[in-house]
Amino acid sequence: MDLADALGVELDPSEPARFQGLSAQQAKGFYGMDVCLELRQGKGSYRWLVNKVAFLYDPPGANGEDLITITLGHVGLFRYFNVAFDHQRGRVKVRPNGLFLHHDG
């Protein structure tokens, strides 16, 4: 929710967002209206519009790994980009796929 405030995203209080993780802990928040996401690589950037993004409250008293950190998901990043995680080297490779149509740069 702090991120929604910082970005100036208008939230829709009539549509609550509820998620449950593998630990069965529930997260609650609200959906935001039309959010433009941007991925910058070098001098270029990729932008796309997501018309429904959830912003969640952190659980009371949470810290460290208990904090809810869901930044990008299937609607945004994984829909338009192929992502490869190299855990050994601590790297992530992100490449646009055929669904991504516009590149600035």
If you write DSSP's letter for every residue of 40-95 in order, what string do you get?
A: EETTEEEEEEEEEEEEEPPPTT--GGGS------TTTHHHHEEEEEETTTTEEEEE
- Host domain of residue 62: 2-104
Q: CA 67: distance to chain centroid?
A: 15
73 CB-side CA count, 13 A: 9
State pTM to two decimals.
0.55
Other residues' Cβ atoms within 10 Å of the Cβ of residue 76: 17
Write the pLDDT tens digit of every residue in 38-93.
888 788 888 888 777 777 777 667 676 666 555 555 566 788 888 898 989 988 88
104 band by pLDDT with thresholds 50, 70 and 90: low
> What total of structural domains would you count in the chain?
1
Q: For residues 32 and 90, which has the higher predicted lDDT (pLDDT)?
A: 90
Which residue type sits at 9?
A: V
Mean pLDDT, range 9-38, rounded to an integer:
77
Mean pLDDT of the 25-47 span: 79
